[in-house]
Amino acid sequence: MRIKAAVIGAGSWGTTVANLLVQNVPTILWAREAGLAEQISTTHRNERYLPGFTLDARLAATADLEEAVCSADLLVMGVPSHGFRDTLEAVSPCIRAWVPVVSLAKGLEQGTNKRMTEIIQEVLPGHPYGVLTGPNLAKEILAGHAAASVLAMSDATIATRLQDLFATELFRVYTNDDVIGCELGGALKNVMAIASGMADGLGTGDNTRAAVITRGLAELTRLGMAMGGKPMTFAGLAGMGDLLATCISPQSRNRHVGEQLGRGRRIEEIIEEMHMVAEGVKTAPVVMELAERYGVEMPIAEQVFNVVHRGRPAEEAYRGLLRRRRVREMHGLD
């Protein structure tokens, strides 16, 4: 039996993953807007999110959720965290039993503080679940540059079978049994990328950027371990790899937000001019709540929260970090 895949969400990453899948299995992409679905199907382009790139001619798109999901053997959720639950609930009457569900979202649900795979378990109990994550900038992958990612599933056998569906000659996919760690790495690094962007916006040097990235990794590792993730996961593609790409790339939406904040702009005007989601903005308050719940120190994340949600100047936030009490480098990690 030949597997059919459905990708829900025609943003830059959802479209890119659908374009990878269609090289191995028949794939349909769901777009919220009928006009965008038609554009993808007829012109093989997604000018709203991926202008200038031509998609695989075999990739079909639809604005009909039932059409996309009813015959799918694999469901890939490419919608942002704030719309994940509602979209999954809309999918639930259409999806067949036991179909694996893979999340692409790199965020946490506001209000419940839950990971996307926890939402999958609530809305679609019994379905195998997992996450595809890593240093994966959509435009670079579509441009044909080599990249690697991690697929972490609740069922190791299913992970191995799905591994080949996502992989191409230039997109290498590894498996990992640490769903919690992989998912948290993808969500928490967005907050650190805002911090890295703020450093760039303030005109600091490479020493500062290196310190922010390294100490940011220590923070997300501390919280990730406290929540059940494995320490080595955060040293891999889902942790350090994704953190590096998101903190240094001009394509990173979260880094862009931080850079603009560092230049003194208000968060409201930055968000208003963006038509794609910077997950770190919504994740920052969730991270603060989780850090308090698990008793984990996260000074960089705290300063990002203060700048983004309390209007604190970025320059003042950086001075605050330097005034912190002195601790061992591995504090909280050993």
Q: Which helix (H) or strand (E) holds 306?
A: helix 299-310
Between CA 84 and CA 80 the distance in angstroms is 6
CA–CA distance, 278 with 285 (Å, rounded to integer) = 14
Other CB atoms within a 10 A radius of the CB of residue 327 amount to 9
| Closest-CA residue to 261 (of 187, 318, 188, 321) | 318
Are 9 and 63 in contact by the 8 Å Cβ rule? The answer is no
Burial 126-164 (b: 16+ CB within 10 A, else e): ebbbbbbbbbbbbbbbbeeeebbbbbbbbeeebbeebbe
Angle CA(265)–CA(267)–CA(271) in degrees, nearest 5? 110
* Token pair recorded at residue 56: 């695989």
Token code pair at residue 75: 């469901």
Residue pair 290/282 in contact by the 8 Å Cβ criterion:
no
Residue pair 230/178 in contact by the 8 Å Cβ criterion: yes
Residue 68, both tokens:
């996309």
Q: 204-212, long-range: CB within 8 Å, 24+ apart, which pairs?
A: 204/318, 209/247, 209/248, 212/247, 212/300
- The secondary structure of 79-127 as a DSSP string is S-HHHHHHHHHHHTTTSPTT--EEE---S--TTT---HHHHHHHHSTTS
The amino acid sitting at 171 is: F
Query: Is there a catalytic annotation at residue 189?
Result: yes
Q: Which of 106, 114, 189, 282 is labelled catalytic? A: 189
**What is the set of active-site residues?**
189
